[in-house]
Amino acid sequence: MDYLSPFEYNGIVTGQRFIGREKEVARLQKLIISHKNALLYGPPKIGKRSIVYNALKGLNLEAERITVCQFDLFNIRHVEKLLRKLSKVVAETLLTEEERKKAFAAHLRNISLEPSSREPLTDKQIKTLLRFPQTIAHAKGKHLIIYLQQFQDILLFDKPIKVLGMLEAALAEAKDVSLIITGDKRNAMNSIFEEMHFFRNLVTEIPIKPINRKIFAEFIVRCFAQNGKKIALKDAGLLYDTLEGDPWYIQHLAEICYLLTEEELTQEIIDRSIQFLLNMYDYELHNTIYGLSTHQLQLIRAILDGERRFSKTEVLEKYGLNSSANVNRLKEALTKKEIVTFISKNTIEFNDSLLKLWFKNYFFNDQ
């Protein structure tokens, strides 16, 4: 068995293995050069970080006088920590140690920047900290890109609506600062940008669509061929279809198939590989559904069965959903848990293709 895999998915993908995202990269680069704000979001593992990385890598940042500051909100739960930490990161990115001392004394007098500080900030101090990146970028003659990851976590803050409103106002005033906003919680990001309409006309969304099936299948065939192994194009397409275009899971499945193949991939190896993949994620899959109620699971089953008119009497009775009002509560719960996204009345998408496969093949298989 060959343990060297030609597939790359557990991290940022670059070079010849970065495929099918040329349009997204080009569009992001255009927004960056134009000093505009970009928004990329969707379920985890669809390639957001790789798109951003390859877009920035393909630009001459020095010639454009662009400085990039990366900031992750995953462990931040209140606005004071966000602004203190962000101000320090911006200062460390743009300024020397001596310049930082002067900037803090001139612009942030009497404001502690220690992230561990429990001293509350006044609204005036918050606004001062929000303006700080623009102040420093302008003084240095730089175009500052703040790359914000896990942006949806702001909804976990106390008074998130107020925080988002203040961020929006600061962004509207900034001339030398642009944001690249990304988030993994699809429904939470929808709530911020589409339902509550924050940052309207201030950010441009770059939709991340599935990589073209033919391009992905041909890529898998090439990867197999690198070490003299064979996979039929139709079987490469089958791997794509099994996981509905999800680049992370497809490459992970293709890697397992590759490692189990000595000369040519067979259907038996594909079946074994799918089982191996499900076994690898068994804990995460069980953990995801642990807190789901019986009624929530029954609505998921109805979705998988192709039902869309959940309030019809026969559907309510068949799946034990009780009432139309209960259906609405169940839909809201599944949305908040990021299990599915209700795109329209007739279009519902699972946010994790492997979870959907597991539901269909195993959880509901004997029901």
Would the pLDDT of 1 be above 60? no
**Is it the case that residue 366 has pLDDT exceeding 70?**
no
Which one has a higher pLDDT value, 93 or 43?
93
Q: Is the pTM of this model over 0.75?
A: yes
Domain boundaries, the chain: 21-205, 223-280, 291-363
- CA separation, residue 176 to residues 20, 29, 256 (Å): 31, 16, 47
Query: Residue 76: is its pLDDT beyond 80?
Result: yes
* Angle between the N-to-C axes of helices 79-94 and 97-107, in degrees from 0 to 180, rounded to the nearest 10: 140
Give the amino acid at 20: G
| Per-residue pLDDT, 365 | 81
CB-based contacts of 251, cutoff 8 Å, min separation 6: 7, 8, 9
Structure confidence by residue, pLDDT tens digits, 294-339: 999 999 999 999 999 999 999 999 999 999 999 999 999 999 999 9
In this predicted structure, what is the pLDDT of residue 3? Answer: 60
Residue 15 has pLDDT above 70, yes or no: yes
| DSSP line for 214-243 | HHHHHHHHHHHHTTT-B--HHHHHHHHHHT
Q: Which CATH class is domain 291-363?
A: mainly alpha
The percentage of residues in the chain with a pLDDT greater than 90, rounded to a whole number, is 92
Of 3.40.50.720, 3.40.50.300, 3.40.20.10, 3.10.20.600, the CATH number of 21-205 is 3.40.50.300
| Amino acid (one-letter) located at 170 | A
pLDDT tens digit string along 257-298? 999 999 999 999 999 999 999 999 999 999 999 999 999 999
The predicted pLDDT at position 367 comes to: 55
pLDDT tens-digit map of 132-162: 999 999 999 999 999 999 999 999 999 999 9
